[in-house]
Structures are given as C-alpha cells and as structure tokens.
Structure 1
Amino acid sequence: MLIIALATLRTRWVSFLGSFAALFLGTALIAAMGQVLASTVGTPDRGPQRYAAAPVVVVPDGQLTVQGRQGATSAPLAEPRGLSPELAARFPGAVVDRVFPARLAGGPPAVGRPWSAARTAPQRLTDGRAPAGDGEIAVSASALTAGAGTPLGDEVTVVTAGAAKAYTVVGVTAAGPEGTVFFADTAAAALSPRIDALALWEPAAAVREAVDDSGAQADDSGAQADHNSAQADPNSAQVLTGADRALPDPARAEDARARNNANTVVGIAGGFAAFVAVFVVSSTFAFAVSQRRREFALLRTVGATRRQVRRMVHAEAWLIAVAASALGALAGPSATRPVLDWLIGLGAAPAWTVASGSAVPSVVAFPTGVLVALLGAAAAARRAGRVTASQALREAAVESRAMTPARWVLGLGTLGTALVCMAVTAVGDPSSAANNKTAMPVVMLLVAAAGLLSPVAVAPVTRLLAAPLERLRGATGTVVSGAALASSRQTALVAAPVLVTIGLTAALLGGAATGDAAKTALRTEPVRAEYLVLPDGGSGLDRQLVSELRKLPGVDVATSAPTSLYTLEGDTVLIRRPVEAVDPKELPAALEVPLASGSFEELDDHGVVVSPFWGKRLGDKVPLWRADGSKVSLTVVGLLGEGTAADAYTTRAHAFSALPSVAYVKLREGTAPTAAEALLRKATAGHNAHAVTKAEWTRDDGARGRSASRIGLLAVLAIILAYTAIALVSTVLMATADRVPERRALRLLGARRSQVLRFVAAEALLVVGIGTVLAAGTAALGLAGLWISLAQLTGPIGISLPWGTIAAVTGGCVLLAVSAAVGSALLTDRAGLGARV
C-alpha cells in the first residue's frame, strides 16, 4: 500500500498539491499565531520613565489589602493616598514629587509637577529658565500644541483640577516621558498637597530602614489613637529600585491595557486560525479523496480489501502530513515580525513588543497539523473502504448519496449545540451576547454546522442560482448545474473556503456592529438632557467650570464623576467595582435611571444603588471600601434594572478628588436652544472642554465604539482571510484539474475553447454563489440570535451589516475563484491534457 500511495502521489500531484498547500499554510498559521502570542505575553515591561534618573523611589502602597476567609486578598487602589509629610521630612535631600491634572488650554494631554521633579526623568531646559514665582511655569515640548511654536514669555491658560488660570511661560524643557507643566515647588504644593513620590539618591537599604521605622511609629500612634479606625494607613509606603521604578510611570496602566488587548486579539486570532485550519484542511483532504472514487473502485474490482484501501489513504495522509506540517511549523515563525509590525501599526499591540524566539509554538503546530490531516482523511478513508466490487462502477460514476448518517448526526448536533448556546444566552444573560468570548464560539459552531450540512443544501441552492443561466443561449447553464448536482459533496467541499471567508466576515463584523449599536443605545437613550459638556481628554471637568455651568440661566446641570468601590465577594476575593458619583436630586431630570426596585430619591451619603450583578437585595447593609481604601458601610436603597450602563451610583461624598467626566445640561421650559448653546460654548472656552448636543454625542459615541471594537476584529479577520483566500485558490485548482476529462468531452462534442473557458468560469461562479448563500444563512442565523438577546435590553434594534466590506470580500472570492479556474484550465490544456480538435 505504501508503494501504491507513493505512485499515486506522483501521478495525481495536482490534487495532492492542494492538500499539501492547505496543510502547510494551516500549520504555518497556527505556528505564526502561537509565536505572536508568545511575543505579546512574554515581552518584558518597559523600563522606568518618569523616575529613570532616580535610583530609589518611595511611593505610597497602591494596594488595598483586606483579610478574607481564606487569607489576605488585595486589589489596586483607584484613588492614590499619598505619602505622609512626616515620612517626607525624614529625607531632606529627596525630590518631593506631586503629580496632578494640569494642561495648557487647547494643548495635548499633560500633568503638573513641581520644578524640582524635572531632574527625575530628566527633563532639561532647552530654552528660558526655571519657574520661580506662583505665576510662572515651564512646559515640556510634548505639552505644547504641535506646530504652535515656542510660547516663551507668553501668558497662557493652564487648566488644573480647581480652575483655569493664566501663567507666564518662562522655560521650555525636553519632551520627556509625558507632557508636563512644571510649577514652582510652592505653587505645586498649593495646587496638589498630596505627596505622590519621593525620589532619592541614597542607598536603598538606608531608605528602606527609614521607611520601615516610620511605618512602625505610625502604626503604634494609630493604634493608640483609634484602634477601630476604618481608614487605610496613609504611612504605608514601598521602596522601589531597579525595574520596579517603572510601577508609577504614567503609561503603566495604558501599557497593561495595550498588552491585554494584544493578548486578546492574538489569542482570538490563534483560536480562529486553528478552527479555520481544521475546517479547510479537513475539507481539502476530503475533496482530494472524493475525487478518487474511480481509483478506489478499480482497486476494489481487482481484489483490494477495505482495510488495504483505508491503509493506502492513511499512508498518503501520513506522507503529506509529515512533510507539510514540518515545513509549516518551521516557516510559520518567520511571519512573526511582519505580523507584529502590522498589529503595532493598527494600534492592536504595544510598540515595544519583542518577537519571541520560543520553539514551543512550532513544536505544538507540527503534531497539530499531522493530527488535522489524519482526522481529515479518516472519514473519507472509511467511505472509500466501504465500496464493494459489485458497487464499484456505480460508485465511480456518480455519488449515491450526499450525506452519510454520521455526517447527519455530527452536523445536526453541531447546529443544535449552537442554537442551545444562543438560547441559553438569550434567556440567562442577554447582556453577554455581544461579548466576543460568547459570540465567537457560537459563530464557529454555526460555520462548522453549515460546512457539515452543506451537501444537502447544494441541490436547492444550485437550482436557484442556475435558473438564470439556463435561460441563456447554449448549454452552459445546463452543463454547469448538472455537474454540480451530480457531485453535491464535492461541490460543497469546493465551496467550503467561500463559506468560511464570507460567513466569518458577515457574522463577526455584523455582530460587532450590532453589539456596538446596542451598547450605544444603552448609554445614550436614557439621557434626557439636550446638551452634554465633555472634557477634551481624560482629566475631567475642572471645578471652576462646573461651578460656572451651574450658574448659567435657563438650564439645570447634573454631573457624574467616575470612582470605585470594593466589595469582598464570598468573603474571599476583593472586587473593584466602577461607580458613578452623582447628586441624586439633580440626576433624574437629566438622566433616566431605570430601577427594578427601590427609589433613587432615597440615595444619600449612607446609601448606594447597585446593579443586579452585585447579588444584593434592597435594604442590605454592605461593607465596602472606597477608592482611597477607607472602609464604609452603605445601605442598598435601589436595584438597577437590566441593561443599565452604570454598575452602581453613590453620592459625590464618595468621589474624593475624582473630577466629573460629564455634565448633563437640561434646558428649562422656555429656554431657547440657540441661546443656551451660545452660553455653553462661552463657558467652556479655555477649560479644555466642549459642549455637544445629544444627537452629536450619540453619533460620536457610536463612532468611538465602532473604531475601538473593529480594530481587533479586522486584525483577526485579515489574518484568517489571507489563509482562506489561498485555500480557495488551492481547492479551485484541484477541482479544475480534476475536470480535464469533462473538458475533453466538451471539445470532442464541438465546443470551442472559449466556450469551455466560459463553462469553467460559470462553474467557479456557481461554487462561489453556493458558498455565499450558505454564508448568508449562517450569518443570518447568528445575527438573529444576537438580535433576540440584545432586543431584551434595548428594545427592537436594527441589524448593522458592513455591506461594503462584505461586497469587497465576496468580489475577491469571485475574482480568485474565476482566475484560478480559468488559469488552471489553460495550463492543463497547454500541458496536453486537454483535447486537440
């Protein structure tokens, strides 16, 4: 059997080349995605930036630690506590650093710091001098608007947390790790009394000893003063050296998000890559074996046993699998750097990501490729082995049935599993329907089910699509549809790459767009205010601006400031929960807050309104820790309804230094919108904020959501579609090469070469059409399940589909399929395989 397998490989090299190419590319794709994932996971954090020049840094303990039932549990604090002045006094030579919101009006994002902290990066003067008085500042080059020139000597407006105030620019420094506005040390202390860090040039051991001694004295003093105090210890500090000095860096949180986003994108891409590789490789192997029914029939006729036929197919699969998987596993990692550079360019991976040199992805990809090949060949080998000598000629002439009982069971089982998952989501947790972790496995199941059940759909779809062709002159329509109907299994296998390509595009992008629309509706529909005032950046609205907004005639203003509360879940794990701090008397007029029970009017400094995810009941007294680590006990006075954008509401007493992220402006009766808009624009001028109508905000919010969610999906799809496109070409080449006898027969019957090529092109178009219809049905079913879930939260919503992208992908499939089919036909004719008349 091995000798026959080798001989078969030599004589049917075109067919096996397609299987080899699909397996090689699939293994390479798995290895490449594994290597990229190893790179994003294993890349070390960036080195110190803000304190790169200071060998020792003392910062507050940024963790809230609580004793649970199974020991201590901790979570990062949302609100920095600051170091105590007593600790700072122990280090007279230290740089006392304070970091607070400060930004030039109309300038890029920046922070404020005392001038003495300029040496920690360092950020040296490039022009002018250091600030000396309360009205003087020095600015880093990165805090200036690009192309605006050096404002040395100019009077500029600086927006801090308290107000917008005029300062004179007396110096300009190098860019540094972040945009910075430097104040005189006394002015910085007045603007932000909290001490955020001490930068020292002393031996680390001595600094640790002093910090430990200070903490011990503070503990003794605190225990004597009030051993029942719920406040977190403000004297708790940690000493950072070496790479740990990067912990307080400005981009630390953003770096972590970028790394997590990259890991998520690449992980999803890797999962889909494995799924698509299994799907396409299995289909390609099945197609290659299905093409050879005549050979198996002849072998059975001359006395080959079922076992010998199966062994021959497995031997061929082994030969192809080992060679293709080995080459793919070796070649795949070479794509790591280009893929990483592409992801970095899209903003889907951190710019400092280092390509991994791990051999694990290749080691895993090789046996995976071999296993995929053997599994892909196993079903076809069983089918080939079932051919008996008496059935040989009939089996060789036409397919006796499109579906085997095992394929029916597997296909219907996969479809049923997908439908059950959608039903469970719709009934149990509809808000998770738009989550990629929930949606993408369902899409995979639907695509797999469509692929398994596709042979039974080929006949009706072919008759539907071929009807217009049959009305044309000539026999092209009849010949094309007849060939497809005579071998529905092979037709379905050729259409499989089209199904995957268009189905994933429509289902994933359509699902993302629909989910984004639902999320936008949840955020925007409850807003009753006609206008919103938003910060130009992430620092929030300054207190002076909020005060001026409240004084405007003819409007009511309600603000919302983001903060956090910590709960001890199950008395074991500390969970950080996002909370909106509001004025309960102002908010209901500007924002509709749906409550399942309780009353928003009862919310005061001792109460909290929570979502169902908290698992609390009305009237429960909940022990909580606030953003700064202080403990408090609040009573649940309201339970939010399903689909509420916020997780919880408290009063502004629990917001501490958090600035409002939005101000809702509700017009009073009789107030002209144009007059109110003019007042809002005048009030926000010079405060790094802007006023928008609700319609403008809704549009911008939807656009931001789409852009944020699409980048990752587009990266995933681009990687997968590149593979499926090549698989499509490979499969079409195999199918076209197998139709040489049919083309010879057409030529002998008098068809011209142009007519034969039109037949080949029409057949490729029909296959793409079948795959497109199957993909449309798959996407429609997935989007219908998503719609049912989301409609429970938002009411009826429109299904959003990226028609332009879907049309482009479909057109690409048509172009590739037709070009491959016609090109293959021309090459085989030139090689002498076609008829010469």
Structure 2
Amino acid sequence: MISLATVRERWASFLGSFVAVALGVAVVTMSALILLSGGTGVPERLAGAPVLVRAPAGEQAGAQFAENPPWAPTRAKELRQKLAGLPGVRSAVADRSFYAQLPGIKQGAGERQGHGWSSAALASYGLHEGQEPSARDDIVLDRALGHGPGDRITVLTAGGPQRFTVSGTLKGPGYYVTDACATDLTGGIRVIGLTLEQGASAPAVASAAERAVSAAGGGGEVLIGEDRDKLAPRQDEMTRWIGAQVLTAMAALSAFVTVFIVSSAFAFTVAQRRREFGLLRTIGATPKQLRRMVCAEALTVGALGAAVGALAGLALAPSAARVLVDAGLQPDGFAVQARWWVPCVALLLGAAVALAGAWSASRRAARVAPLEAMREAAVDERPMTRRRWISGLAAITAGVGCAVGTAFSGSDTMVLLGLGTAMGLTTGLTLLIPALVRPVVGALARPLGSRKGATALLVRENMRTAVRRTSATIAPVLATVTFAVLITSTVQTTETADTDRQAASVHASAALAPQGTPGLTDAATAGSGLQENALLSTTVYGGSRRSPLTAAGVSSGFQRLYGHPAPHAGTVVVTKAVAAAHGWSQGHRAVLTFEDGRRERLRVAAVLSDEAVPYQLVLPRALVRTHDPSALADVAYRTTGDTPVRPVGGLGAHEVRVETYAASAEAEEDRLVWIFTLMLVAMTAGYTAIAVASTLLTATADRAGDLRILRLSGATSRQVLRAVAGETVCAVVLGAVLGMVVVIPALLGMVQGLRENLGVPVEATVAWPWVVGAVGGCLVLGLAASVLPAHTLLRGPAGRRRSARVG
C-alpha cells in the first residue's frame, strides 16, 4: 500500500484528483439526500382530515402533472353518501375548489384558492374571528390579507370581479364562500375528506373506506398518514420533478467528470514518473506491483477525498435545499431528511470512481521498460499510438455523424444528438491533440512578442518537446469552452426559435396578456372587445384511459388567428400526435371527460399538425365554459381589423406585442431552464478549472530543475516567467480554438434541425459573453497556477544560486 508520506511528497500531482473526488462525492451526497427526502407534507387545507379519498388517476405519459380526472357528479354523490355512513365517520366532505384571487395578491397558474365553506372542516386551521358565510355574497378569508368582518372586497373569479362582504377571517390561506356559491363556480370533485368521531381509528376507517370505494364502482384511492402528501398541488410535484432532473444531471455529470479528471491527472503523473517506474523495474519490480502501486495511490487519494466530500455533502445538503427552494426548483416548505447510509454509499462510490479513473494509468505504468531509467530528456518521442489515432478519428466521425443527424432529426432526439456531437468531437480532438501540438504551436506562439527572441523560441520548443504536458493542459480548456459555450448558445438559440415560431403561428397585431393573474377572466376579454379571439384554457381527459390533454375553447375568431375553421357544437379539432395516440381520425367519435367529471362524445372535425396550434385539442368555447366554470383564457389576440383595446382597470390584463407575449408565455419555464443551464455550466467549468489548475501546478512544480538551468544559463527571472506565461497562453488559445471547432458544427446542426421542425427562419445565436468568460477564466486560472508557483521556485534555490554566481 502507498503511504501517506508518498501522498504528501506528490501533493501537487494528487491535488486535482483529491479536490475532484471530494467535490464529486459532496454533490452526489447532497443530490441523493435531497432526492430521497419527502414532499412538503399534507396541504394545510386538508390536514385536518385523517382519511382522504381522491379520484383515480388517468394515464399520464412522460412528465405530465395534470390533476386526476374528477368523478362523475352522480358517482361523487353516491360515494360521499356511502362514506358518510361508515362507522366512526362524523362527516364526508366533498372538496370544491375554484379560481379566486384578491387583486394585487400573487397567484400561480393553476392555483384554485376558492372553496366551499364545508371544506373548511378539512383544514388544520379554523376561524380566527367573525362567523361562517351564510349569505351568497359572504366570504371568509385569510387574516394575513388585512381584512376584517364587515369589509367589502372585490374578488376576481373566472367570470370576472365579484363583490363580497367579509363575514370572518381564518388562521390560514384560502377564500371560503357558501357551498351554493361554490357549486356554481366549481367544476368536478376530486377529493372527499372524512372527519372522524372521537376515538375512531383512522386505519380502521380507511379499510372500511377502501371497501366502500371498491363497491361503489367509481374507483378512488384512500390516503392516510404520510400518504396524504400525494394531494400536494401538482405545481409542487412539477417543481420537484424539475429539481430532480437538475440534481440527477448534476450527480451524473459530477461522477463522469470526476473519472475524467482523475484519469487525466494520473495519466499525466505516470508520464512524468517514467524514470521512477523504470528504476523500480530495474531493481525487480513486476508490472503487477506497479499497477498495484498506482491503484493504491488512487485509492488513498479517493478515500481521503470521498471522506471529506461525504461530510461536506451531509453538512451542506440543507443549505443546498434552501437554494433550490429560492430558485424555484423545489416547492416552498421542502426540507431535507437525513439518512446516515447515503454518505456511506457516496464514500464507497468516490473510492470506486478514483480507482476507475486510475485503472488505465496503472496499466500504462506497468508497461514502462527498465531502460526508461536511463532517459533524462523530457522529449515525447511517440505521443500518438495507433490505438489513439483510431479512437480519435472514430470519435470525430461519430461526432460529425451526430451533427448531420441533428439537422434532420425530430425535436425529441435533437438535444441528444447535439450532446452526442459535442461529446464525440470533444473526445476525438482530445485524443488527437498530441498530433496537433507540434504543427500548430509554432504559429500560435510567434505573436507573443513584437520581435523574435529567445523567449518565443523557448515557448515554442518547450511546448513542442513536452507534448504530453501541453496536451494535458489543452484538454480541460477545450472541454470548458465547448460545454460552456454550447450549452448557453443552444439554450439561447432554442428560446429565440420557439418565440419566433409562436409569434409566426398566429396572425395578430397585438395580444391581451394576463398581468398579475394566472389568466384572463371573461370580464377582461369582453371588456376589451376581444372575447371572440380569446383562447379559454382547460384540461380534458381523453378516451377510456382518461389521459390528460391540454385544450382551448375558441370562438369565431379562431379562423382569423390560425387559418383553420373553429369547431362547431358537438365537434373537436385534434393534433396528429393525439389522434395517433388514441386511434382517432377525422369523423371519428372521441370520448372526452371534462373538468366537471361529465363525458361528451364529440366528432373529430379536423386533424392538424402538432405545430399548427399551441394546444392538443380545440373545442367550442361555450362547451368549455359549461364544463369548467373556473377556466381562464391564456391570451386574447387583436387582429388588424379589430379596434385598439380599451383599458379595463382592475382586471389583470394589458396589451403587448405578439412577440412579447410569446417570449413571456414560457417565462417561468425559461427561467428554470436558465437556472438549470447555469448550474451545469458552473459545475462543468468548476471541474475543468480544477483540472487546469492541478495540471499546471503539477507541471510547474516538476520543472524546478528546468527553471534552475534557465537561471544558470543567464536568463532573468522576468524572462523565465514570460516563458512560463507564454506556454500557458498558447495552451489556452489552442484549447479555445478547438472548443469553438466543436461548438460550430453542433450548433449549426441544431439550427438546421430547428428550421425543419419549426418551419420558421432560425439563426444561430452564439453566447459571446460566455465565450469571453470561459476563455478569460481559463486564462486567469492557468496563469495563476503556473506563474505563481514558478515565481516561488525562482525565489528559492534557483534564484539564490544565480545571485551567488553573479556576485
């Protein structure tokens, strides 16, 4: 086994690997702890009911987060009556929810804060002051809103603003009206809560409720205890899913890049220690013993780094969770639950990753011949092997193939092929860097000085002689520039293209968009004269599988906006993807379940392309409003012939350009995508920064003899430092150029693919600030990791010995 003394002696060589393993294990530990933690708990407004019954889920494909389809009205009524008659049940309360919002109070899309008063019995809080609502215009609301009994307030509902009198206040959130008023504003029922008599057993009641649900034939799921967390808002579930994607990507990227850095570091270390390994072979060391020695070094570094990383991940997980909550990648109220076995598994993973990274280097060390001990020169005579040539060219071929495939692929595979392009070209160029160094470095090194002098010559010859060292420095710069620029440029290009597509798909001169509300009420669209051009958004559930589908209720203006006739009563327009999934065709009778739980058989009037409209189904507006009293319009467009919008105060609407609305419609999703992007870029840049710094630090520390010879040969400290800095600048410039060589085909392939898929002109958008930032960061870090150690060495024995000779 390798001793700690050996690790201390070669600390510069192992520093990068140690930091990479520690950081990787910390990220994996934090990610695992957050992913394995539970949700936000039972919603407050339902936490007072020990047993809850929810409607059965429809079939959801992919990352869909729609509410479960509601029960049919008759089934909901029968089931509630059966549940109310169970032993130990005091009452069975149907939860009715609808859109309600106090002007000026923020509310997210899809939130339904309004409820019938009977639902208040299910909440974990009760009345603070006043009394329950009795008249139709009475309302009870959260005391935190600042209103008291007797106040007259205006509340926005889907139909428009309504005036209410505050009859009481609550100790928690929500707007509660009479059950009769709530019935008119609510669609279907998805949850029935059971309040229990004194001393009744919740598990026993839950078992009886399961039998009642099964006998009723309407289906449903009985929830008790922590299982009631499943009733958290779907928005929270979507937020957690997005956060899980971020954490999973971070953990996977962390493990991959850790292996890359460890393997690069040990490969460079083995190349530096050829003479040492040759001496060991001379005195009788076997190849197996050399392999064992290198693996022992990796295991020691990996174990130490993994231990530090596991403890750091455990300590930082709560802070990381708070950052994710603040960023919108985890819902409010989320908290990390500690699990002791997670850091233990992460520690073992870190050691295994270190061994995996050093395995190839250990095999290379075992092939060192005893005659290597006789070599003094640092010339890399054969940096390229046949296997390396074949692998590099194969990787580049695969990358180019992915770039070509991207130009003709669909939206589902475009991102994967784009990443394949980047990974293939990056891997190929990294393998071929040793073949490029000698012919290219001369051209890049000459401009370092205004005259051809000894320093420029020294830079060129040092880089061309020590090809392995130069390649090890260029590779992480190449990776940094490639992924930082490609990820950010791809996001910018895609966002711009999607905005252009949405704006081009609708024939309108302006848009009436929500302002401070999750959608437009009927009063807002009617008051502006644009109700015929409004898109009333709802969710319907298709076929016997009752899979959720996004739908819009439209009027006569739909044909002016999208060029397709609006569906008439009893008909529906569907997209090709939906038609294919459900086996529908033009003229087919489609069975749809609406928000009130009722079913309709509608004739398919037309099948449109998936890009023709921003919804999966298009329905008559009157049909949507009948079945979904809380539906809000996403937008109402003004066409050229319409009169300008008349300002309607207090309804949460304003007129904007069509392009502005198209950009803002996905603003929250774009924000989360950019947060995701920045986190991945920061992690990639951080890892490659470790690789750049550790490689240059190791290389500089190993060149003490070279620096001493330069000083004894008459070079000044400034000349030596200029030579070291010149090598670093050349390496960074070459890495940046190769990085852009990778980015350009990947980005052009994606641009062509977007043009084919979206049918609109798409231009490549290069994130130049990120180019400057990535290259500048590598340059500053590289100079710090090479010049500063060289300066320290020159102030040591080399510098003192030169001063003595001069004296």
Structure 1 length as normaliser, TM-score? Answer: 0.82
1:626 alignment partner in structure 2: 593
Q: Deviations over 1:115-139 (max 9, x none)?
A: 3433433334445544332222222
User: Unaligned regions of 5+ residues in structure 1, if any?
Assistant: 67-73, 220-232, 569-573, 594-599
Query: Following the alignment from structure 1 to structure 2, what is the Cα–Cα distance between the partners of residues 213 and 13?
Result: 71
Report how far residue 242 of structure 1 moved.
1.9
CA pair 668-607 structure 1, distance change in 2 beyond 3 A? same
Amino acid at match of 1:371: A
1:803 has 2:775 as partner: no
Summarize the Cα distance change of 1:432–1:155 in structure 2 as closer, same or farther, 3 Å threshold: farther
Give me the whole-angstrom Cα distance separating, in 2, the residues matched to 1:521 and 1:457.
Answer: 41
Work out the CA distance in 2 between the residues paired with 1:214 and 1:703: 42
CA distance in 1, matches of 2:147, 2:572: 51
Give distance in 2, aligned partners of 1:545 and 1:735.
68
Does 2:606 match 1:640? Answer: no
Equivalent of 2:512 in 519, 533, 536: 533
Partner secondary structure for residue 247 of structure 1: helix
Q: Distance in 1 between matches of 2:122 and 2:3?
A: 70
Q: Is the 8 A contact 1:534 1:689 kept in 2?
A: yes
1:710 is aligned to 2:678? no
2:658 maps to amino acid: K
Cα separation, 1, equivalents of 2:286 and 2:213: 82
Counterparts of residues 505-654 of structure 1 (less than 5 Å): 505-536=484-515, 539-549=518-528, 551=529, 557-566=533-542, 574=545, 576=547, 578-583=549-554, 585-591=556-562, 605-612=570-577, 614-615=579-580, 619=586, 621=588, 624-627=591-594, 628=597, 630=599, 632=601, 634-635=603-604, 637-640=606-609, 645-652=614-621
* Pairing of 1:401-550 with structure 2 (within 5 A): 401-430=382-411, 432-434=413-415, 439-472=418-451, 474-536=453-515, 539-549=518-528
Say if 2:485 and 2:771, in contact at 8 Å, map to a contact too: yes
CA displacement, residues 263-287 of structure 1 (integer Å, 9 cap, x when unaligned): 2111111221122122222221221
Structure 2 residue identity aligned to 1:563: T
- Matched residue SS, 2:635: strand
Contact 1:494 1:735 in 2 (8 A): no
Greater displacement, 104-113 / 696-705: 696-705
Q: Which letter maps to 2:639? A: L
Post-superposition CA distance 1:677-707 (Å, at most 9, x none):
3x1x32xx33333332213213434754532
Aligned to 1:230: none
Question: 1-side partners of 2:184 and 2:536: how far apart?
Answer: 26
- 2:368 is the alignment partner of 1:368: no
8 Å CA contact retained: 1:60, 1:237: yes
Is the CA contact 1:611–1:648 (under 8 Å) kept in the aligned structure 2?
no
> Whole-Å Cα distance in 2 between the matches of residues 397 and 97 of structure 1?
78
8 Å CA contact 1:329–1:365 kept in 2: the answer is yes
Which residue of 30, 34, 37 maps to 1:43? 37
> Does residue 229 of structure 2 align to residue 246 of structure 1?
yes
Q: Alpha carbons of 1:696 and 1:45: their partners in 2 closer, same or farther (altered >3 Å)?
A: closer
Partner Cα distance (2:408, 2:623) in 1: 36
1:819 lines up with 2:784 in the alignment: yes
Q: CA RMSD in A?
A: 3.6
Q: CA deviation at 1:40?
A: 3.0
CA distance in 2, matches of 1:406, 1:191: 71
2:68 aligned partner:
77
Counterparts of 1:170-319 in structure 2, within 5 Å, are 170-174=167-171, 176=172, 179-192=173-186, 194-195=188-189, 196-202=191-197, 203=200, 204=202, 205=204, 209=208, 212=211, 216=215, 233=218, 236-249=219-232, 251=233, 253-295=234-276, 310-311=287-288, 313-319=290-296
**Residues 66-112 of structure 1: CA distance to partner in whole angstroms, max 9, x if unpaired?**
9xxxxxxx996345656634554563744553211111123222611
| Contact 2:12/2:701, CA 8 A, preserved across alignment | no
Alignment of 1:635-784 (within 5 A): 635=604, 637-640=606-609, 645-652=614-621, 655=624, 656-657=627-628, 659-669=631-641, 676-677=644-645, 679=646, 681-682=647-648, 685-701=649-665, 703-784=667-748
Q: Structure 2 length normalisation: TM-score?
A: 0.85
Partner of 1:140: 142
- Contact residue 54 and residue 199 of structure 1 kept, 8 A: no
Secondary structure at 1:578's aligned position in 2?
Answer: strand
> Is 2:140–2:177's contact at 8 Å kept on the other side of the alignment?
yes
| Cα distance in 2 for residues equivalent to 1:214 and 1:613 | 31
Shift of 1:13: 6.3
Greater shift, 276-285 or 19-28, is seen at: 19-28
CA distance in 1, matches of 2:428, 2:546: 39
What is the CA–CA distance in structure 1 between the aligned matches of 2:356 and 2:224, rounded to whole Å? 49
1:149-164 pair list within 5 angstroms:
149-150=146-147, 153-164=150-161
Deviations 1:768-793 (A, max 9, x none): 22222222222223222222221212
Report % sequence identity. Answer: 27
- Note the alpha carbon deviations across 1:751-774, whole angstroms, 9 max, x for none: 221222222222222222222222
Using the alignment, how far apart are the partners of 2:187 and 2:631 within structure 1?
A: 17
| Pair 1:407–1:172, CA change in 2 (3 A) | same
- Residues 257 and 617 of structure 1: is their aligned pair in 2 closer, same or farther, counting only changes over 3 Å? closer
- Whether contact under 8 Å (1:561, 1:661) holds in the other structure is yes
Contact kept, 8 Å, 1:40 with 1:262, in 2: the verdict is no
Q: d(CA) in 2 for partners of 1:93 and 1:119?
A: 9
Cα 1:601–1:257, aligned 2, differ >3 Å: closer, same or farther? closer
Q: Who is 1:97 aligned against?
A: 95
Q: Is the 8 A contact 1:266 1:716 kept in 2?
A: no
Helix, strand or coil at the partner of 2:505: coil
Quote the Cα distance in structure 2 between the aligned partners of 1:207 and 1:294: 75
In 2, Cα distance between equivalents of 1:199 and 1:474: 88
Superposed CA offset, 1:335-363 (max 9, x none): 32425344344333453232443232322
Tell me how many residue pairs correspond in the alignment.
Answer: 766
User: Shift of the alpha carbon at 1:509?
Assistant: 1.6
Counterpart position of 1:571:
none
Aligned partners of 1:566 and 1:576 also within 8 Å: yes
- In structure 2, relative to structure 1, the CA distance for the partners of 1:458 and 1:626 (3 Å cut) is farther
| Partner SS for 1:525 | helix
Q: 3-state SS of the aligned residue for 1:481?
A: helix
Q: Distance in 2 between matches of 1:215 and 1:297?
A: 77
Instruction: Point out the more displaced range, 186-195 or 461-470.
Output: 186-195
Distance in 2, matches of 1:460 and 1:643, equals 53
Q: 1:189 to 1:650 in 2, by over 3 A?
A: closer
Q: Using a 3 Å threshold, how does the CA distance of structure 1 residues 438 and 604 change in structure 2: closer, same or farther? A: farther
Q: State whether residues 532 and 693 of structure 1, in contact with CA within 8 Å, keep that contact through their aligned partners in structure 2.
A: yes
Q: Structure 1 residues 480 and 614 mapped into 2: Cα distance closer, same or farther (>3 Å)? A: farther
- Deviation string, structure 1 residues 490-514 (Cα, Å, up to 9, x no partner): 2011222222222221111222222
Q: 1:450 to 1:796 in 2, by over 3 A?
A: farther
- Take 1:396 and 1:826, find their aligned partners in 2: how far apart are those partners? 24
C-alpha distance in 2, partners of 1:804/1:650? Answer: 45
Change in 2 beyond 3 A, CA 1:39/1:661: farther
Alpha-carbon separation, structure 2, partners of 1:370 and 1:33: 19
Deviation at 1:818, TM superposition (A): 1.1
Contact kept? 2:571, 2:602, Cα under 8 Å: yes
1:836 matched residue in structure 2: 802
Counterpart of 2:363? 378
